[in-house]
Structure 1
Amino acid sequence: MATILVVDDELGIRALLSEILSDEGHTIELAENATQARAVRERMRPDLVLLDIWMPDVDGVTLLKEWGSAGLLTMPVIMMSGHGTIDTAVEATKFGAIAFLEKPITLQKLLRAVEQALVKTAPPRPAPASPGMPSYARAEMSPLQTAPASIGGNSHMPGNSLASEQSFELDRPLREARDAFEKSYFEFHLAKENGSMTRVAEKTGLERTHLYRKLKQLGVDLSRNKRGGTG
């Protein structure tokens, strides 16, 4: 999870990016011009900035240069523009931008750029305490994650959770049994991926929009699977 500052003078762009990135578990700060962006940067240190180039007061490249010269460019910056050129992208990169996104920005390109930017700046993850499952995964593993792992194995044996037994009770109509299995299946992957719809879509082989519809149909509670306030 990261804190991301989105700077764009278009309300629709800010709202869309905020919705998408919030869904991925990030905390979003919004600014519609350079003045507001400076205030947010002064108040906090975002992990990433999505910065529009063409803004009414001060353009994004000028703000990027300003932060760089003042020693405030301590976070990766991704530039955005609907009227950018190769020269503009090169100039932005020259002054410290890590990437350039051309509007209209596709979901796939946005999430890939954000993920790559955050990976490049993230501290190294500690080595696993033992072979197999990393220590952080063992510590955060919940009953929700462990129950579906027994599907097809010894889920019928004593000692398994009541939820597991109820979810896979075979003495019920096929549709109900299938829905129960699918709900647990998606809940397992949501918990495993910390609520990231993008990674769940990749793991399950579903289109993101199809995945949303499926989760809604199954009554999966997305709010409890979203990443919390820890980084």
Structure 2
Amino acid sequence: MATILVVDDELGIRALLSEILTDEGHTIELAENAGQARAVRERMRPDLVLLDIWMPDVDGVTLLKEWGSSGQLTMPVIMMSGHGTIDTAVEATKFGAIAFLEKPITLQKLLRAVEQALVKTAPRPAAPAPGLPSYAARPELPMHPHSSVLNHSGHAVAPVIAPVQALASEQLFELDRPLREARDAFEKSYFEFHLAKENGSMTRVAEKTGLERTHLYRKLKQLGVDLSRNKRNSQI
């Protein structure tokens, strides 16, 4: 997933955005003013910045201009404000912002804006190596974990790692146990499969499984699903 810098002088806003985006599998950096935001940008290049417009020292639009003039605006920036106007939003986009979120920010608008920003800047997948069949570069095809790619002469040249879907079809469950234990084992594997498939996104797993996020979170805790592992995997 992505590394996202959240810049806002309100502690509550920073905490809320951090919690939501961390649940989605992202790594979050926090800054409460322009000075801290500059320090983070000097240290690294985040994949996305959520930048508040009205801050006590230097406002967000000024910081945006500064990054643009110094060649540091190499990541998408989404502006945020509870007192913004159309003129402010237009000015921000003129200086490099790709979107504007008005506070209070709803969960749906936040996640949609973040997803769209990251999709626009995501690198395109590499083309398949010359001489290999096109399916060799498509991990979504169900292939056996021990199968190989064959070159034009029919010789195996590389093993293919099975995707999540193929591995899931080979999952075995021990049925000689009490019903509750067997059901819990199945549900745990079921949710782990969907978490892996959705890169640790709690929102997308909730949509796929038809559960509310709060209910889903309680269910995963009850089943002993390691959420931290899914977050680590989603950042690879």
| TM-score for both structures, normalised by structure 1 | 0.82
4+ runs deviating over 6 angstroms? none
Match of 2:201 among 196, 201, 206: 196
Tell me the equivalent position of 1:54.
Answer: 54
Aligned AA (2:173)? E
Aligned partners of 2:97, 2:162: CA distance in 1, in Å?
35
Root-mean-square deviation (Å)? 2.5
User: Counterpart in 1 of 2:173?
Assistant: 165
Q: Give the aligned residue type for 1:48.
A: L
3-state DSSP of counterpart to 2:116: helix
Maintained 8 Å contact 2:173/2:182? no
Residue segments in structure 2 that go unaligned for 5+ positions in a row: 142-159
Give the Cα separation in 2 of the matches to 1:216 and 1:105. Answer: 28
Question: What amino acid is the match of 1:28?
Answer: I
Q: Identify the residue that residue 218 of structure 1 maps to in structure 2.
A: 223
Whether contact under 8 Å (1:52, 1:60) holds in the other structure is: yes
What is the number of residues matched between the two proteins?
A: 214
User: Percent identity among equivalent residues?
Assistant: 84
Post-superposition Cα deviations, 1:76-122, rounded to whole Å, max 9, x if no partner, equal: 00001111122221221121111111112122211111111011011
Contact in 2 for aligned 1:194/1:227 (Cα 8 Å): no
Q: Would the aligned equivalents of 1:7 and 1:32 in 2 still touch at CA under 8 Å? A: yes
* SS of structure 1 residue aligned to 2:35: helix
**2:27 touches 2:235 (CA, 8 Å); kept in 1?**
no
In 2, Cα distance between equivalents of 1:133 and 1:208 = 34
Q: Is the 8 A contact 2:199 2:234 kept in 1?
A: no
- State the alpha-carbon separation in 2 of the partners of residues 139 and 19 from structure 1: 33
Seen in structure 2, the aligned counterparts of structure 1 residues 41 and 107 have a Cα distance that, compared at 3 Å, is same
Return the alpha-carbon distance in structure 2 between the equivalents of residues 62 and 228 of structure 1: 36
CA 218–18 in structure 1, closer or farther in 2 if over 3 Å, else same: same
Corresponding residue for 1:18? Answer: 18
List aligned pairs for 1:31-46, cutoff 5 A. 31-46=31-46
In structure 2, relative to structure 1, the CA distance for the partners of 1:198 and 1:130 (3 Å cut) is farther
Tell me which residue corresponds to 1:134.
Answer: 138
Decide whether aligned partners of structure 1 residues 95 and 44 sit closer, same or farther in structure 2, where only a CA change above 3 A counts. Answer: same
1:157 maps to: none
Superposed, 1:24-173 pairs within 5 Å as: 24-127=24-127, 130-131=134-135, 134-135=138-139, 139=161, 141=163, 146-150=166-170, 164-166=172-174, 169=175, 171-173=176-178
- Which runs of 5 or more residues in structure 1 are unaligned? 151-160
Greater shift in the superposed pair: 2-11 or 124-133: 124-133
Q: Classify the secondary structure of the residue corresponding to 1:58.
A: coil
Deviations along 1:119-173, one digit per CA (max 9) or x if unpaired, are 101110235764398238864746xx655424xxxxxxxxxx6xx233xx1x444
Aligned residue in 2 for 1:154: none
Conservation of the 8 A alpha-carbon contact between 1:183 and 1:220: yes
Asked if the contact 1:4–1:26 (Cα under 8 Å) also holds between the matched residues in 2, the reply is yes
Offset of residue 4 of structure 1: 1.1
Give the whole-Å Cα distance in 2 for the aligned partners of 1:184 and 1:77: 38
